[in-house]
Amino acid sequence: MESVSNEDQLESIKSMQSTIGKLENALAQMTQKGANTTLVKKRLKAVYIGLAVLENVWNQRPHHYNQEDLAEARNVLTGLFPSIENTYTKLKAGSPQRTLLERRIRALELAVQAIDGLSHKKLPN
């Protein structure tokens, strides 16, 4: 995994936490409305795993995810890029929303890198 400044690490962790909050709110609203929550639950789990892996790599915090969890999370996180990037291109340069998405994209890229790095290590199944 690439070397990341402490500031980038902090911003990435905050971005992942913010994404978790948004997904938890969406899940609560969708559950209340009786909507299908499968996709939101899958994304929420993937972002939780992404955050856990970043904290494992940067802060040596243990995580309890196996290779299968990591592989699924990587696929889900990677699948988020097209829609985020599509929204990003429509936003005005310098806008707060664009900055937020820049940080989210960076955090997701780093989470995927961290998962890739852990996938080369032997993990419990």
The average pLDDT across 17-36 equals: 97
Whether residue 121 is predicted with pLDDT greater than 80 in this model: the reply is no
Question: How sure is the predictor about 123, in pLDDT bands with cuts at 50, 70 and 90?
Answer: very low
Name which CATH class applies to 6-119: mainly alpha
The DSSP letter of residue 65 is: -
82/118: higher pLDDT: 82
Distance of CA 86 to the CA centre of its chain: 17
**Which pLDDT score, from 0 to 100, does residue 3 have?**
87
Q: For the chain, what is the mean pLDDT?
A: 93
Does residue 66 contact residue 123 with C-beta atoms inside 8 Å? yes
Does residue 109 contact residue 1 with C-beta atoms inside 8 Å? no
**Which pLDDT score, from 0 to 100, does residue 118 have?**
85
Report the C-alpha gap between 105 and 108 in whole angstroms.
5
Alpha helices in the chain (DSSP H): 6-33, 38-59, 67-90, 96-119
The DSSP letter of residue 121 is: S
What is the token pair recorded at 40? 């939101």
What digits encode the pLDDT tens for the residues 36-73?
A: 999 999 999 999 999 999 999 999 999 999 999 999 99
* Count of beta carbons in the 10 Å neighbourhood of residue 4: 18
Whether residue 125 is predicted with pLDDT greater than 80 in this model: the reply is no
